[in-house]
């Protein structure tokens, strides 16, 4: 007789594996189904972790070639060993995915290997066996969105997965899509020596992010050598032995032109992954964008079937999936799980980095919320100057009446780490004055956050 479980989680990405571990910690009998050969989902295998490994390695290469001489560190000749860089990335991924396997064993989560299908509410089929579960959690994540006329072969036309595995630096990489993944992977290959052109449909990069930051990001990456073709749409791709020819038209319509590339990275977004799960047969409702529809507590319309992570509405981010996993596990254990969506940061791991949490100025204006803004540049920070990393600023937005922090938007060195302070401030309902009166060590980049908080009240000290 196959085993029965309190919870079967389908998908072992950051949403699923974290949900499984938390549910097991709370005393539930848990299995997690994963069809990939390793645990960790998109994030650990082909997403966050391998991309950050290559971003780190390529930034070291960039520093050695172009930045360290300013610090008096001279090299005779800097060479790239791409095979070694890729092998290191593989080791980083392997260590991380093994780590999840260890956590499953430690917490007594059963890993059911294979593709899961929900055959009826409370019944999940994996590799020919049907398992019973009081609760089934869909955490099947997302996949790269296709584009009509641009056929992916993961060699000449790649998704992010192929772009993480290129065996040689392309002469010209064309990235379709000026979102986070396109800019991060475009940066990796630009640093390693490729010419990189980013083609974007809209008139700006990173839609949804603060406008001022998006413009500065475009300028900053432009200075580094990335080329941008905005307000343009790719309508076709023709492959030949010497590359790919893209047909590109103005987004508003007009004459088409050709753009030649050695490799094309298709990065126009990600779509929910629900194929083969049997959701229609189980009667699970989906929304207009193919995402599993849930209420505010991750319940679908079918009792006992829940969903979290990239497969439901909201930001497609690993930490959002994780927080939902924890909240749902707690709900399933009879507790009051909750996710504060106003305090979920978003980071772009270019260098300098971009980080953002809470409302943007555009959102506050649209909602008619009166707010104050405080800004402070990295040029006026001693540590940034010592590092030689002075691009960018921190902007904090606070309620005009109550001074409560509503959002923060940053571009600069290591702002992906600095943003945590503002997430915490929002979570605690802190005011900009609370942040400003908190002692920040000197000399640190964090002082830019403090000064921006002081600037909300017009009293920054070091500018
Ligand atoms: C290149 C890239 C870089 C990224 N960088 C970042 C970053 O820096 N920070 C960040 O926050 N986010 C990043 N993301 C996004 C992040 O990876 C996702 O938001 C996150 O992985 C979503 O987690 P999840 O658990 O919902 O789904 P996933 O991680 O997609 O995991 C779902 C798992 O379910 C499995 N599965 C699907 N169907 C079945 C089935 N029927 N049976 C069994 N198993 C199944 C899949 O094999 C997969 O392993 C990046 C994504 C990409 C592609």
pLDDT tens, per residue, the chain with 463 residues = 678 999 999 999 999 999 999 999 999 999 999 999 999 999 999 999 999 999 999 999 999 999 999 999 998 899 999 999 999 999 999 999 999 999 999 999 999 999 999 999 899 999 999 999 999 999 999 999 999 999 999 999 999 999 999 999 999 999 999 999 999 999 999 999 999 999 999 999 999 999 999 999 999 999 999 999 999 999 999 999 999 999 999 999 999 999 999 999 999 999 999 999 999 999 999 999 999 999 999 999 999 999 999 999 999 999 999 999 999 999 999 999 999 999 999 999 999 999 999 999 999 999 999 999 999 999 999 999 999 999 999 999 999 999 999 999 999 999 999 999 999 999 999 999 999 999 999 999 999 999 999 999 999 999 9
Between the CA of residue 87 and those of 50, 94, 270, what are the distances in Å? 11, 10, 27
User: How many Cα neighbours within 13 Å face the side chain of 293?
Assistant: 10
Is residue 186 within 6 Å of ligand 1 at its C-beta? no
Q: In this predicted structure, what is the pLDDT of residue 282?
A: 95
338 vs 429: CA distance, rounded Å: 16
Residues near 459 by beta carbon (within 8 Å), at least 6 away in sequence: none
Q: Give the list of residues 6+ apart from residue 14 with CB closer than 8 angstroms, or none.
A: 40, 41, 43, 44, 309, 318, 319, 321, 322, 325
Our answer on whether the CB atom of 318 is closer than 6 Å to any ligand 1 atom is: yes
How far apart, in whole angstroms, are the C-alpha atoms of residue 410 and residue 389?
14
CB 181 within 8 A of CB 160: yes
Tokens representing 366 are 């649209």
State in Å: Cα 140 to ligand 1 middle.
8
The crossing angle, in degrees rounded to 10, of helices 415-427 and 446-456 is 50
3-state secondary structure of 144: strand
Mutation to probe ligand 1, out of 141, 265, 271, 274 (largest number of atoms < 8 A from CB): 141
Predicted local confidence at residue 240, as pLDDT: 96
Distance (Å) from CA 311 to ligand 1 centroid: 9
Using the structure block, give the residue that is written with the tokens 């401030």.
425
CA distance 188 to 196: 10
What are the Cα distances from residue 449, in Å, to 61, 133, 407? 29, 47, 12
- What ligand 1 atom has the least distance to the C-alpha of 116? 42
Give the span between the Cα atoms of 269 and 246, in whole angstroms: 19
- For residue 166 and ligand 1, the question of a CB distance below 6 A is answered with no
- Partnered with residue 295 across adjacent β-strands are none
DSSP state of 207: T
Residue 139 CA: distances (Å) to CA of 294, 310, 375: 12, 8, 39
Query: Encoding tokens for residue 175?
Result: 């990235």
40-43 contacts, C-beta under 8 A, 24 or more apart: 40/12, 40/13, 40/14, 40/96, 40/97, 40/100, 41/11, 41/12, 41/13, 41/14, 41/15, 41/16, 41/17, 41/141, 42/13, 42/141, 42/142, 42/310, 43/13, 43/14, 43/318, 43/321
Cβ of 291 less than 6 Å from ligand 1: no
Residue nearest to atom 37 of ligand 1 (CA): 140
Distance CA 381, CA 403 (A): 24
Q: What DSSP line would sit under 168-181, residue for residue?
A: S--SEEEEE--SHH
pLDDT value at position 3? 86
Please, is 377 exposed, middle or buried when counting C-beta atoms within 10 Å of its C-beta (0-12, 13-18, 19+)? Answer: middle
- DSSP summary character for residue 209: S
pLDDT at residue number 1: 66
Q: Probe ligand 1: pick from 11, 21, 165, 284, max atoms within 8 Å of CB?
A: 11
- Ligand 1 center to residue 317 CA distance, Å? 8
Separation of alpha carbons 87 and 83, rounded Å: 6
Q: How far is Cα 424 from Cα 430, in angstroms, rounded to an integer? A: 8
450 CA from centroid of ligand 1 (Å): 34
pTM score: 0.97
CA distance 185 to 205: 14
**Rounded to whole angstroms, how far apart are CA atoms 109 and 120?**
23
* CB of 35 sitting under 6 A from ligand 1: yes
In this structure, the number of other CB atoms found within 10 A of the CB of residue 295 comes to 9
**Ligand 1 within 6 A of 423 CB?**
no
Substitution candidate for ligand 1 out of 51, 124, 140, 273 with most atoms within 8 A of CB: 140
Best CA proximity match to 230, nearest among 212, 210, 208, 207: 207
Q: Which two tokens stand for residue 60?
A: 């070291």
Evaluate whether 340 touches 296 at the Cβ level (below 8 Å).
no
- Residue 311 neighbours by CB distance under 10 Å: 29
User: What's the token pair of residue 43?
Assistant: 């994030």
Active-site residues, by number, are: 442
Residue 143 C-alpha to ligand 1 middle, in angstroms? 8
User: 309 CB less than 6 Å from ligand 1?
Assistant: yes
Q: How far is CA 53 from CA 78, 167, 181, 235, 355, in A?
A: 19, 16, 14, 32, 19
- Can you tell me which atom of ligand 1 is nearest the CA of 274? 38
Q: How many C-alpha atoms does 148 have within 13 Å on its Cβ side?
A: 1
d(CA 317, CA 296): 18
CA–CA separation, 423 and 100 (whole Å): 26
- Confirm or reject: Cβ of 321 under 6 Å from ligand 1: yes
Q: Is the peptide bond before 352 cis (omega within 30 degrees of 0)?
A: yes
179 lines ligand 1 (CB under 6 A): no
Maximum C-alpha span of the chain:
72
């Amino acid at each position: 007789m196959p085993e029965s479980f309190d919870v079967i989680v389908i998908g072992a990405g950051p949403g699923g594996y974290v949900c499984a571990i938390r549910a097991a910690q709370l005393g539930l009998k848990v299995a997690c189904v994963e069809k990939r050969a390793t645990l960790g989902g998109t994030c650990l295998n082909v997403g966050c972790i391998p991309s950050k490994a290559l971003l780190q390695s390529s930034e070291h290469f960039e520093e050695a070639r172009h930045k360290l001489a300013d610090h008096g560190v001279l090299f005779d000749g800097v060479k790239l060993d791409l095979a070694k860089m890729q092998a290191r990335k593989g080791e980083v991924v392997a260590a991380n995915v093994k780590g999840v396997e260890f956590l499953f064993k430690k917490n007594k989560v059963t890993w059911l290997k294979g593709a899961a299908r929900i055959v009826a509410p409370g019944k999940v089929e994996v590799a020919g066996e049907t398992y019973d579960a009081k609760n089934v959690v869909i955490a099947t994540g997302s996949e790269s969105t296709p584009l009509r006329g641009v056929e992916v072969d993961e060699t000449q036309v790649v998704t992010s997965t192929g772009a993480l595995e290129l065996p040689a630096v392309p002469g010209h990489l064309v990235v379709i899509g000026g979102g986070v993944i396109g800019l991060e992977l475009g940066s990796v290959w630009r640093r390693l020596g490729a010419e990189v052109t980013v083609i974007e449909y809209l008139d700006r990069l990173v839609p949804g992010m603060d406008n001022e930051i998006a413009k500065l990001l475009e300028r900053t990456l432009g200075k580094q050598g990335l080329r941008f073709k905005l307000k343009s749409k790719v309508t076709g791709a023709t492959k030949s032995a010497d590359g790919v020819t893209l047909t590109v038209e103005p987004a508003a319509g007009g004459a088409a032109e050709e753009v030649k590339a050695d490799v094309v990275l298709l990065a126009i977004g990600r779509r929910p992954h629900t194929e083969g799960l049997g959701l229609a047969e189980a009667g699970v409702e989906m929304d207009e964008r193919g995402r599993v529809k849930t209420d505010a507590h991750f319940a679908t319309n079918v009792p006992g079937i829940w969903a979290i992570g990239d497969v439901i509405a909201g930001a497609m981010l690993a930490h959002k999936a994780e927080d939902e996993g924890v909240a749902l596990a707690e709900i399933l254990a009879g507790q009051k799980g909750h996710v504060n969506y106003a305090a979920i940061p978003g980071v772009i791991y270019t260098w300098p980095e971009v980080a953002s949490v809470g409302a943007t100025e555009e959102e506050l204006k649209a909602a008619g919320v009166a707010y104050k803004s405080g800004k402070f540049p990295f040029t006026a920070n001693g540590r940034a100057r010592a590092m030689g990393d002075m691009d960018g600023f921190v902007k904090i937005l606070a309620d005009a009446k109550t001074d409560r922090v509503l959002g923060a938007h940053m571009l600069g060195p290591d702002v992906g780490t600095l943003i945590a302070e503002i997430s915490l401030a929002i979570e605690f309902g802190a005011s900009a004055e609370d942040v400003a009166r908190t002692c920040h060590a000197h000399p640190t980049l964090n002082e830019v956050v403090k000064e921006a908080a002081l600037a909300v009240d017009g009293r920054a000290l070091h500018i």
